[in-house]
Structure 1
Amino acid sequence: MDEFDDYVESYTQDGVLLKQAPSSYISFVNTIGTIYILESLQNDDSASRKQFLEWKPNDVTVDSDVQDQEWAVVNTVQKRVRTLSGNFPSDYQGRLKSFKISFDDIKSFHVGNKNRQLILYDGSSEPICSFIFQHGNCECLVNIFKTFLRVTPSRRDRHLYVVHSNNLELQQLHKSFATLNINSDPNPFWSMVKTFKENPYEVYNSADQREVDEFQREDLNRSLSEYEETSHSGGDYEVIQKVPDLPARKDFPRLRPLSEEQWKSQFNCEGRLEDVEPIKSLIFRGGVQPSIRKEVWKFLLDYFPWDSTESQRQKLVIQKSDEYFTMKLQWKSITKIQEENFSDYRERKSLIEKDVNRTDRTLEFYAGDNNSNLQTLNDILMTYIMYNFDLGYVQGMSDLLAPILMLLRNECDSFWCFVGFMNKVISNFDIDQAGMKEQLSNLHTLLCFADPQLANYLDTHDSGNMFFCFRWLLVWFKRELSQDDVMRFWEVLWTGYPCKNFHLLVGVAILQNERKALMSNNYGFTEILKHINELSGKLDIALMLNKAEGIFYQIKEAEHLTDNIRFILGLSLLGSNSVGSHEQSPFESPDLSTNSQPQCSVEHVSISPDEGTFEQSINSTFL
């Protein structure tokens, strides 16, 4: 059995150039590959599990399940420093192997070149190895290191991180004094910690006289700071700062989907929608009936303008078809010699081929060998490279396209709807991951406001960075839901109701739903990541939407609502006279009677909140 058969991959990042390596791996130098974090499964105690960093060259053939990672970092293709060519021996492919480093051997690491270079040291003056990150940066990997290793920045170089002893007690100190397993220990630091609660200031004042290293003193200072911020001793009483409560949460059951009759009744004699926002409101409340989904999605994804007439849409289809096939011809006509001299194009083409071959293959529409639908998926993504040269192709984009193509069954229409979807989430695929980092930060901010206790738990269990939610936000929960559920979920989000970044509130709702499992089991980062990944296929999306909407109105009606939260949700800021475009009640809807017929004009009949609530109660069992 292989040495690493009992290890699971908890992290992966593609597009990593091996710049320096031990002599036995010298043939790998200047080769592009993928970094993995491997964690042992042999011990249930997360603190005593072994971790390894593994680097594999891209030319190694790996199982699709490995590449279909549970938690992926955005990987944007850039120029290759070196390509695999005829300079290698004929048996090179047969001699390729992976390069592994135990976390125990990493004594320090240096981050340079704006987080694009990572050098690992084993305690000697010579590095173990160094990597250049061509698809983004090493920031997420460094944060993973910090969850498994105890590190502090060097005084001489803030980009150099020193790894300290991986002692279980040191790992637990900053989390909770109550859970420390402190026995008799010759180290004076531990005898000092024992009396912390009884007389913290005496401990603090005498710390510099003890044989305590800088790293231990920083832990002590941080713990003391947290103690001062959360409580104040006052005789027999303890005064604790209390976070204001949110208003009671309201219930928002899902309604019936927008029906074909309701949809058709809203077009006038020119084929123009008379009142758009009430239509969006109804879609938000219950989604879209499958029989009209093909047509409605073209509006939701900005392929068809909401105010367009039937004749305008017909002309637009012809125009967009010409544009699409012109762009498709551009990459179709690239010669073999051009491709050999065009590394960016070659890299993107290769990545698309890999991703397409593992996208939704369990679904009948994409199953089997020589599936023409896979070829269409490939062609649309290749054409998107011609449409958006700067972005090109990024891992995860095939996940966003697959349901669109499966629904529309038309290459050109699917392309332009995909373009509309990408315009909504394009910041997810920033090369520096700024968009994803901002979303993860905003998710944490919202969780702190909606559920401070859970947010504090994550902060103290190495999970405040919210990286375990990365996949949720990158592809809008695509991997967590069935095909039917993801279609209903996406069309609800595309409406923009009831606020900006509503998908983040769905994330808050899911985390609150799992808070008992996370907190009662005292999960750390690895266990939280595993638990969140195992929710795939188990989420009740109707319930999560219900809860997310309730959380939104709790936050919106809170007296202590801050401008930071208002900005994230797109609400008007304090002292501003402007009103956010999504602050209207989603219950304001026209009378969309199923018996109505298409007509030249439609009267707008407002439904009061009470009427809307009554309607919800009647239809709450539908979906």
Structure 2
Amino acid sequence: MGDVLMECMEIFSQDGVQLKSAQATYVNYLNLVGTLYITEYANSNCKRCLEWKPNDVTVDSDVQDQEWAVVNTVQKRSRTFSESQPPDASTRPKFLKVNFNDIKSFKISNKNRQLTIFDGKSEVTCCFIFQHGDCDYLLSLMRGLLKTVSAKRDKHLYIVIHGDDPETAQLDKSFAELNIFQDSSHPSWWKLVKNFQERPYETTFETFSRVTDFVYRSPDQRDIDDDQRELLHRSLTEYASTHCQGDYEVIAKVPELPERKDYPRGRPLSTEQWKNLQNHEGKLEDVDQIKLMIFRGGVAPNLRYEVWKYLLDYFPWDSTQVERQKLLCEKNDEYYNMKLQWKRMTRVQEDNFSDFRERKNLIEKDVNRTDRTLDFYAGDNNPNLQLLYDILMTYVMYNFDLGYVQGMSDLLSPILHLLKNEVDAFWCFVGFMNKINSNFDIDQAGMKEQLQNLHTILGFIEPQLVNYLDKHDSGNMFFCFRWLLVWFKRELSFEDVMRLWEVLWSGLPCDNFHLLVCVAILETEKQALMENNYGFTEILKHINDLCGKLDVPAILVKAEGIFHQIKEAEHLTDNIRVILGLPLVGTQPSPEEVISISPDSPDEDPYEQVYNTMQHIIT
């Protein structure tokens, strides 16, 4: 451990982590709350480290934050601790750091909310408590970045294999895992039973290897009960009967997908078309066709200021001009009432309101490093930064259960940049958050579900790639975490972000179309990932390096083609149907699904029919 700060890249960060125990050097930090990082140093012998920094120490640079590879969604909260106060800054180390090379083992406990690190020299090197959410994501990262095996006597303890000999490491790992003859109540035993039902071929061979372990045991170690004997016998006999010559189980060929068609992008919705789609009361007509045009071509830049208010549910699609004017007045009053609530909070109130204080500090930190390279947010004392701060603080009062989580400033920034109006930007931001607020769940359930759904869809389209990812510790799809969390905000230019977001906000052609955008990108990168035999770390770096290199129109063309390819597949499963919001087998489509967005061929594109009709109206 050390206290030297060097330029590095953050692979992982998580707020709201309490230091429960550590070596004597850090005794004054015990019970304080801070941020836990996995960092990688460019020029250092200890290239990768686990670091913890207390909340009152700021060590992040703007550049470092802009290059973050993933972002954690655990909401920053802490309670006040009176038993330990930090020492004078001149006498204390700035942060705790554990070199990955020094980690001999680590343990996850307390329902995956506690991480304990062991270096082999002391009983406990350090222990962290995750105050909100669990450390499942951190565990997956550490197991991907370190060679680990589960301990035989404790499934929550992971032994780190340090060694340059891959054969020795693999042998050690094999012996650690060949542990079938223990208490049958152990979860791994029942996992084997479950696996035999689902994967008889693989599980039987796994059983073969464990039987070999049994043969080499001494007689006094061969203590297995009748249930275990029965399972071993059943695994052998059922495998033989299932795969014997007379009754051979033929593995069906993976069904082929239909040919994929291209659906070229259309032209943006123009100001003239937009005006001609309103009646004399200012009410929009044929909303479904408007959404279709937005999906296929986006919105003209000079029209976004108005159309985004509909896409983000600030203005109802069926509202008249008079109704919208009334709504503006109501929303204006409501916004400033909420803003006054936090503006009038006294210092004493803040000191006694730790949740509010922590959220305020986090917003201040994030606002000061959000899109500062843009002229709109550049420079010191920029009034637009103050607007960004005020809107986010007001959102805390609007939705205190969710509050503020790192990444939200990225979602607000383009909206404020476009609208340049505090109240309008706030309510459009509220509409955006209503669409994706599950991304910021404290327990990360929303993100985990999306990553699993992405894995499922990718497996349907590219089973070879999914099989490769699964075998290279990347089947959890965590390398796509940042894409999904902030909808590619960190990957694209401002113009491309706005173009992509308005297409996704249209809600067409299906639910979770952003997952198909991810699939389109991964399919494009398939060759690079597999031919280079990338592992977990290389995949994460490769995906991170796509920043600024993505072709949005081409990706949208491919993503739409993938949607129609999936929809037309004869072997389409109900699982995929549920993810994409398609009707299940034997059910009738909803009225929204009847909208003509699935032509038999690109030549019959309804978008062009609508566009040409609107051009005729204009002329």
TM normalised by structure 1 equals 0.82
Equivalenced residue count is 560
5 Å-filtered alignment, 1:314-333, equals 314-333=325-344
Partner of 2:195: none
* Partner Cα separation in structure 1 for residue 410 and residue 446 of structure 2: 18
- Structure 2 residue aligned with 1:159: 156
Aligned to 1:564: 575
Q: Within the alignment, does 1:38 sit opposite 2:39 as a pair?
A: yes
Structure 2 CA distance for aligned equivalents of residues 465 and 173 of structure 1: 25
Aligned residue type for 1:248:
E
State whether residues 3 and 96 of structure 2, in contact with CA within 8 Å, keep that contact through their aligned partners in structure 1: no
CA drift at 1:17: 1.1
Contact kept? 1:571, 1:580, Cα under 8 Å: no
Q: 2:288 aligns with which of 271, 274, 277?
A: 277
Structure 2 match to 1:19? 20
State the shift of 1:57 in Å: 1.9
| Counterpart AA for 2:392 | L
Deviation at 1:120, TM superposition (A): 1.9
Alignment-derived partner of residue 403 in structure 2: 392
What residue identity is the alignment partner of 2:53?
K
- Does the 8 A contact of 1:232 with 1:240 survive in 2? no
Give the CA deviation at 1:33: 1.8
Counterpart mapping for 1:360-371 below 5 A: 360-371=371-382
- CA deviations on 1:17-54 (whole Å, 9 max, x unpaired) are 111000111111112222222346579xxxx9963212
Rounded Cα–Cα distance in structure 2 between residues aligned with 1:410 and 1:516: 45
Q: Deviations over 1:376-416 (max 9, x none)?
A: 00000000011001011110000000000000010000000
Q: State the secondary structure of the residue aligned to 1:581.
A: helix
- Considering only aligned residues, what root-mean-square deviation do their CA atoms show, in Å? 3.6
* Mapped contact 1:60–1:96 kept (Cα < 8 A): no
Identify which of 211, 214, 219 aligns with 1:208.
214
1:66 to partner: Cα distance: 2.7
Structure 1: how far apart are the matches of 2:113 and 2:297? 45
Residue 553 (structure 1) aligns with: 564
In the alignment, which residue of structure 2 is the partner of 1:372? Answer: 383
Query: What residue number does 2:187 align with?
Result: none
In the alignment, what sits opposite 1:75?
A: 74
**Unaligned regions of 5+ residues in structure 2, if any?**
174-201, 222-231, 613-619
**Equivalent residues in 2 for 1:137-286, closer than 5 Å:** 137-154=134-151, 156-164=153-161, 168-169=166-167, 206-210=212-216, 241-286=252-297
What amino acid does structure 2 have at the position aligned with 1:443? Answer: L
User: Relative to structure 1, is the Cα distance of residues 233 and 543 closer, same or farther in structure 2, using a 3 angstrom cutoff?
Assistant: farther
> Matched residues in 2 for 1:26 and 1:324: separation?
45
Residues 571 and 579, structure 1, Cα contact 8 Å, conserved in 2:
no
Kindly provide the amino acid, as one letter, of the partner of residue 131 in structure 2. Answer: Q
What CA distance in whole angstroms lies between the structure 2 residues aligned with 1:505 and 1:169? 40
Aligned to 2:310: 299
Q: Which residue of 2 aligns with 1:64?
A: 62
SS at match of 1:291: helix
- The equivalences for 1:356-505 within 5 A come to 356-505=367-516
CA deviation after TM superposition for structure 1 residue 145, in Å: 1.6
Structure 1 gaps, min length 5: 176-195, 214-220, 589-606
By how many angstroms is 1:159 displaced? Answer: 3.3
CA deviation map 1:84-131 (0-9, x unaligned): 99x444x33663422122334333333233322112233478221110
Counterpart among 114, 131, 134 of residue 131 in structure 2: 134
User: Relative to structure 2, which stretch is displaced further, 380-389 or 76-85?
Assistant: 76-85
**How far 1:162 sits from its partner (Å)?**
3.8
In the alignment, the residues of structure 1 paired with residue 324 and residue 120 of structure 2 have an alpha-carbon distance, to the nearest angstrom, of 67
- Three-state SS of the structure 2 residue aligned to 1:19 is strand
Alpha carbons of 1:323 and 1:42: their partners in 2 closer, same or farther (altered >3 Å)?
Answer: closer
SS at match of 1:365: coil
Q: Is the 8 A contact 1:55 1:98 kept in 2?
A: yes
Judged with a 3 Å threshold, the aligned counterparts in structure 2 of structure 1 residues 285 and 355 are, in CA distance, closer, same or farther, namely: same
Deviations 1:420-459 (A, max 9, x none): 0000000000000000000011001100001000111111
- Listed one character per residue, the Cα deviations across residues 500-522 of structure 1 (whole Å, up to 9, x for unaligned) are 00000000000001111111110
> Deviations for 1:521-576, whole angstroms, at most 9, x for unmatched residues?
10111111111111011100000000001111111111111110000000011232
Instruction: Tell me, yes or no, if the aligned pair for 2:114 and 2:130 is still in contact at 8 Å.
Output: yes
Is the alpha carbon distance of 1:337 and 1:548 closer, same or farther for their aligned partners in structure 2, counting shifts above 3 Å? same
| C-alpha spacing 1:168/1:336, structure 2 compared with 1 (3 Å) | same
Given that residues 71 and 481 in structure 2 are in contact (C-alpha distance below 8 angstroms), is that contact kept between their aligned partners in structure 1? Answer: yes
Q: 2:208 & 2:362 partners in 1: Cα distance?
A: 60
Paired residues of 2:596 and 2:606 also in contact (CA < 8 A): no
Amino acid at match of 2:65: Q
Q: CA–CA distance in 2 between the matches of 1:469 and 1:276?
A: 33
In structure 1, distance between residues paired with 2:130 and 2:358: 15
**How big is the shift at 1:582?**
3.7
SS at match of 2:52: strand
User: For the Cα contact (< 8 Å) 1:496–1:582, is it kept in 2?
Assistant: no
- Write out per-residue CA displacement over residues 574-595 of structure 1, whole angstroms, 9 at most, x where no aligned residue: 232344734633279xxxxxxx
Match of 1:55 among 52, 55, 79: 52
Check the 8 A contact 1:38/1:54 in 2, yes or no: yes
Distance in 2, Cα, partners of 1:202 & 1:290: 64
Q: Are the counterparts in 1 of residues 566 and 572 from structure 2 also a CA contact under 8 Å?
A: yes
Against the structure 1 CA distance between its residues 275 and 201, is the aligned structure 2 distance closer, same or farther, given a 3 Å change threshold? closer
Which of 115, 120, 138 is equivalent to 2:117? 120
Contact 2:263–2:602 (Cα < 8 Å) also in 1: no
Match of 1:264, as an amino acid? K
**Aligned with residue 341 of structure 1, among 352, 357, 370:** 352
The one-letter code matched in structure 1 to 2:37 is Y
Contact 1:233 1:239 in 2 (8 A): no
Query: What residue in structure 2 maps to residue 287 of structure 1?
Result: 298
Question: Is contact 2:3–2:93 with CA below 8 Å preserved after alignment?
Answer: no
Distance change (3 Å), C-alpha of 1:22 and 1:281: same
Once the two structures are superposed, what CA deviation does each residue of 1:302-339 show, in whole Å capped at 9, x if it has no partner? 00000111100000000000000000000000111111
Q: Percent identity?
A: 61
TM-score between the two structures when normalised by the length of structure 2: 0.83
